[in-house]
Chains A and B, each alone.
Chain A
Amino acid sequence: MSYRVGGRGRVSDRPVTFTFDGRRIEGRAGDTVASALLANGIHLTGRSFKYHRPRGILTAGSEEPNALLQVRRGPGRAEPNTRATVQEIHPGLETESQNRWPSLRVDALSINDRLSPVFAAGFYYKTFMWPKAFWDRVYEPVIRAAAGLGRAPAEPDPDRYASRYLHTDVLVVGGGPAGLAAARAAALPGVRVTLVDETAEFGGALLSEPGTEVDGRQAWAWLEDELTAVAAMGVRLMSRTTAIGYYHENMIALAERVTDHLEAPHPDLPRERLWRVRAGQVILAQGAHEKPLVFNGNDRPGVMLAGAARTYLNRYGVRPGDRAAVITSHDSAYAAAFDLVGAGTAIAAIIDTRLEPPAELLSAAAERGIPVRVGHTVTGTDGRLRVSAVRTAPVRDGRPSFAVRIPCDCVLMSGGWTPALSLFSHSRGTLLWDAEAETFLPDRSPEACRMVGGARGLWGIGAALADGAEAGAAAVAALGRTSAPSQRAVTGDAPGTGQACRELPTDWPNPRAFVDFQNDVTAKDIRLAVREGMRSIEHVKRYTTSGMATDQGKSSNINALMIAADAIGRSAPEVGLTTFRPPYTPVTFGAIAGHHRDGHFEVTRKTPIDGWAEANGAVFEPVGQWRRAWYVPRAGEDMETAVLRECAAVREAVGMFDASTLGKIEVVGPDAGEFLNRMYTNPWTKLGVGRCRYGLLLGEDGYIRDDGVIGRLAPDLFHVTTTTGGAARVMNTMEDYLQTEWPELKVWLTSTTEQWAVIAVNGPKAREVIAPLVEGLDLSPEAFPHMSVAETTVAGVPARLFRISFTGELGFEINVPARHGRAVWDKVAAAGADHGITPYGTESMHVLRAEKGYIIVGQDTDGTVTPADAGLSWAIGKKKPDFVGKRSLARPDLVAAGRRELVGLLADDKLEEGAQIVLDPSEPMPMTMLGHVTSSYQSAALGRPIALALLADGHSRMGERVHIPMPGATLSAEVTSPVFYDPDGDRLKL
Chain B
Amino acid sequence: MNELARDLLPAATVITALAPACRFSLRIAPQDGVEAAGPLGFALPERIGARASANSVEALMLGPDEWLILAPEAARERLVSGFEALSAVHSCVDISDREISLSIGGPGVLDLLSVGCPRDLAALPEGEARRTVFDGVSVVLWRDGSESFRLDAWRSFMPHIESLLASAERARAADCNRT
* Interface residues of A, Cβ cutoff 8 Å to B: 160, 162-167, 258, 266-270, 276, 278, 595, 599-600, 603-608, 626, 666, 668-670, 746-748, 750-756, 817-820
Contact = CB atoms under 8 A, between A and B. Distances in A.
B175 A754 contact: no
Interface in B122-158: 122-123, 135-137, 154-157
A756 B114 contact: no
Given A167-B122, A750-B25, A599 B117 contact: no
Given A164-B111, A167-B122, A669-B91, A268 B157 contact: no
Given A165-B119, A278-B120, 4 more contacts: A604-B159, A606-B156, A755-B94, A818-B155
Contacts of A817: 96-97
A167 B91 contact: no
Given A162-B171, A669-B91, A748-B91, A604 B97 contact: no
Nearest to A275: B114
Nearest to B158: A606
Contacts of B167: 160, 595, 600
B97 A603 contact: no
Q: Is the interface of B mostly helix, strand, loop or mixed?
A: mixed
26 contacts: A163-B115, A269-B178, A276-B118, A595-B164, A595-B167, A599-B163, A600-B167, A603-B135, A603-B157, A605-B156, A605-B157, A605-B160, A607-B156, A608-B155, A626-B156, A666-B91, A668-B91, A668-B93, A746-B89, A750-B91, A751-B98, A752-B95, A753-B154, A755-B93, A755-B95, A817-B97
B174 interface: yes
B155 A754 contact: yes
B99 interface: yes
B154 A754 contact: yes
A166 B114 contact: yes
A753 B154 CA distance: 9
Contacts of B123: 167
B15 to A, nearest CB: 15
A258 B172 CA distance: 12
Contacts of A669: 89, 91
Contact of B117 (A165, A268, A755): A165
Interface of B: 20, 25, 27, 65, 89-91, 93-99, 111, 114-115, 117-120, 122-123, 135-137, 154-157, 159-160, 163-164, 167-168, 170-171, 173-175, 177-178
A278 B155 CA distance: 30
A165 B118 contact: yes
Contacts of B20: 819
B119 to A, nearest CB: 8
A282 to B, nearest CB: 16
Nearest to A278: B120
Nearest to A607: B156
A267 B98 CA distance: 36
Contact of B97 (A599, A607, A754): A754
A756 B20 CA distance: 15
Residue among B91, B136, B174 with max Cβ neighbours from chain A (10 Å): B91
Contacts of B27: 668, 748, 750
A758 to B, nearest CB: 12
Contacts of B95: 750, 752, 755
A260 to B, nearest CB: 14
B172 to A, nearest CB: 9
Contacts of B174: 266-269
Contacts of B97: 754-756, 817-820
A603 B137 contact: yes
Nearest to B117: A165
Nearest to B115: A164
Contacts of B117: 165
Contact of B115 (A160, A595, A755): A595
Contacts of A163: 115
Nearest to A670: B89
A270 B160 contact: no
A613 B135 CA distance: 26
A818 B93 contact: no
A267 B96 CA distance: 39
Contacts of B155: 608, 754, 818
A599 B167 CA distance: 11
A754 B20 CA distance: 14
**Interface pairs A-B: 6 shortest CB-CB:** A605-B156, A668-B91, A748-B91, A748-B27, A167-B120, A268-B174
